[in-house]
């Protein structure tokens, strides 16, 4: 099966009738960290996206200084699907990153087994409110450090220390544009959830 960044081979939108079990996970992170791109790189179906144009109404709310080319933002959620076996499917929900959309979190977190927290290592301070929400909802999580083009690479140990993460929290480098890298982060999350349940 040939997969490439941004354009993975898509399966039928219809779920195989043999699938009888489902698992729900969240992809979370601050504004403009790469959640929509991540779900697009791992979803086997064309992902559902609720992207809207950024308008003047976002002035004073959304900091575009680090992402001046960003023209859209998620206003509700992203959704993707990945079939894990003949009878098991993974549903992947992406949350909006802005503080003003945090009311969406309560509904999206209901029934979720865990979360992949995407972070930009150059904007770690924006991750603390996200971690607070994930922990408030009692979700086990893995941290994926998005590796942006041309950005300084920080050792994962420094990211762990800066975020004051518990020792048992897995942290992994992740290029959300690359399917293999994104899948590795997802595998890490699934393994962490299995160990948390055991």
From the list 96, 94, 165, the residue with the least C-alpha distance to 124 is 165
Contact yes or no for 182/176 (Cβ under 8 A): yes
Quote the pLDDT of residue 62.
52
Q: Residues 51-97: pLDDT tens digits?
A: 656 555 554 455 555 555 555 555 558 999 999 889 999 999 998 86
Other C-beta atoms closer than 10 Å to the C-beta of 149 total 6
Other C-beta atoms closer than 10 Å to the C-beta of 31 total 24
Domains of the chain and CATH, by start: 21-52+65-197 (3.40.50.300)
Band of residue 129 on the pLDDT scale cut at 50, 70, 90: very high
* DSSP H helices in 23-164: 35-42, 103-109, 128-136, 156-163
The reported pTM is 0.81
């Amino acid at each position: 099966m040939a997969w490439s960044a941004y354009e993975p081979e898509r399966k039928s939108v219809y779920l195989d009738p043999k699938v009888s079990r489902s698992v729900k996970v969240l992809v979370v992170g601050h504004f403009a960290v790469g959640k929509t791109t991540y779900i697009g790189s791992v979803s086997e179906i064309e992902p559902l996206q609720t992207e809207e144009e950024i308008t003047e109404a976002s002035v004073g709310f959304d900091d575009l200084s680090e992402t001046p080319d960003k023209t859209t933002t998620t206003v509700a959620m992203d959704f993707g699907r990945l079939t894990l076996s003949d009878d098991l499917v993974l549903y992947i929900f992406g949350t909006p990153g802005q503080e003003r959309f945090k009311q969406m979190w309560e509904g999206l977190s209901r029934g979720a087994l865990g979360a992949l927290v995407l972070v930009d290592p150059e904007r770690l301070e924006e991750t603390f409110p996200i971690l607070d929400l994930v922990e408030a909802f009692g979700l086990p999580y893995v941290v994926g450090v998005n590796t942006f083009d041309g950005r300084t690479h920080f050792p994962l140990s420094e990211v762990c220390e800066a975020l004051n993460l518990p020792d048992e929290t897995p942290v992994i480098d992740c290029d959300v544009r690359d399917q293999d890298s994104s899948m590795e982060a997802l595998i890490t999350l699934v393994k962490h959830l299995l160990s948390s349940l055991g």
